[in-house]
């Protein structure tokens, strides 16, 4: 019994690394989607900081902390919907969820860029996106 315990102790790193690599391998097809989502979140953070400076607002660590939480939550929801899609193949739900997340981040980036530059192209893009969303969903974006 002592030999088994010593063997397990000596090889526990192999079991742990094997389990971690198996998980990474399972989720590797969504690597690109996660990178795009992370990039959108980070670009929103950067443009939000610049826009806050322009408005004369300070940068709060609470908001930076929330960005970290957002990255964790976005990762979890994309990975979970991917797992559902893999095990119950009906639609590619993870891609729909990722597009929604990136779309909301893009909306926020456009708002920030409109404040930063005051350029009409960003205001036009916001109106264009708003019209497309309202036409496709029949929901008034301003009321929601």
Q: Supply the pTM of this predicted model.
A: 0.75
CA 10, CA 22: separation in Å to the nearest integer? Answer: 20
CA 68, CA 62: separation in Å to the nearest integer? Answer: 10
CA atoms within 13 A on the CB side of 78: 24
Q: Cβ contacts of residue 114 below 8 Å, gap of 6+? A: 122, 123, 126
Q: Tell me, what's the pLDDT at 61?
A: 79
Q: Tell me, what's the pLDDT at 121?
A: 86
Residue spans of the chain under pLDDT 50:
none
Judge contact between 116 and 51, C-beta under 8 A.
yes
CA 133, CA 144: separation in Å to the nearest integer? Answer: 12
Q: Tell me, what's the pLDDT at 34?
A: 94
């Amino acid at each position: 019994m002592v030999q088994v315990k010593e063997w397990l102790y000596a090889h526990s790193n192999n079991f742990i690394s094997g389990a971690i690599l198996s998980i990474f391998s399972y989720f590797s097809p969504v690597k690109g989607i996660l990178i795009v989502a992370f990039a959108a979140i980070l670009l929103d953070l950067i443009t939000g900081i610049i826009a806050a400076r322009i408005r004369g607002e300070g940068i709060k660590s609470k908001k930076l902390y929330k960005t970290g939480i957002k990255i964790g939550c976005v990762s979890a929801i994309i990975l979970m919907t991917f797992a559902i899609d893999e095990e119950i193949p009906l639609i590619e739900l993870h891609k729909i969820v990722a597009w929604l997340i990136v779309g909301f981040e893009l909306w926020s980036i456009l708002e920030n860029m409109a404040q930063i530059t005051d350029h009409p192209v960003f205001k036009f893009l916001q109106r264009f996106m708003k019209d497309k969303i309202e036409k496709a969903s029949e929901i008034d974006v301003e009321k929601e």
